[in-house]
Amino acid sequence: MSTAPELLAAGALPGLLPEHVIAALPADGVGVFRVDDDASDTAAFSERYGFGLDDCANTIVLRFKKGGAEHYAALVSLGSRRLDINGAVKAALGAQRLSFAKREDAVELSAMEFGGITAFGLPEAWPVLVDEAVMTREQVVMGAGIRQAKLLLAPDLLRGLATVQVAALTLAESE
């Protein structure tokens, strides 16, 4: 059963979303809506609210080694796609070693809830990789910093992030 979410007025965002997420959002073109916590994860969200996995953009925190130092990055990809972690993602970061960040590290460093992490409001030094398939969508739904809300936006707004890099980061559909 799908239920269409109701967009919130901009005045409702303070107190709902983390302040650093609100500060990083573009002034126009982003809708925000509440979701049930039990439907925050991609598959459950898609089923409950009627958005296809092709329109759900997940933000994943990565930890990588480069030049002997440890770094973090974010990766945005569609819920319907399979990441090419050891090929394209590793190459895009120039990483010697790469892994998904530990849950507690992702939460602490992003100052966002696990399952609600978004590309907006991340630490300034983090690269933000966006799979090119995300950019082909008319609009995407992504985390809002908390599990009880989602952002609805045209993916082109991600280009406004200072450290964004768009690249082919997922495997072809047949692989």
pLDDT of residue 41: 87
Residue ranges and CATH numbers for the domains of the chain are 27-167 (3.90.960.10)
Distance in angstroms (rounded) separating the CA atoms of residues 76 and 121:
14
- pLDDT the model gives residue 13: 79
- What tokens were used for 164? 């964004």
What's the confidence (pLDDT) of residue 83? 95
Residues of the chain with pLDDT under 50: none
DSSP the chain: ---PPPBPPGGG-BTTB-HHHHHHS-SSSEEEEE--GGG-SHHHHHHHH---GGGEEEEEEEEEEETTEEEEEEEEEETTS-B-IIIIIHHHHT-SEEEEPPHHHHHHHHTS-TT---STT--TTS-EEEETTGGGSS-EEEE-SSTTEEEEE-GGGGGGSTTEEEE--B--TT-
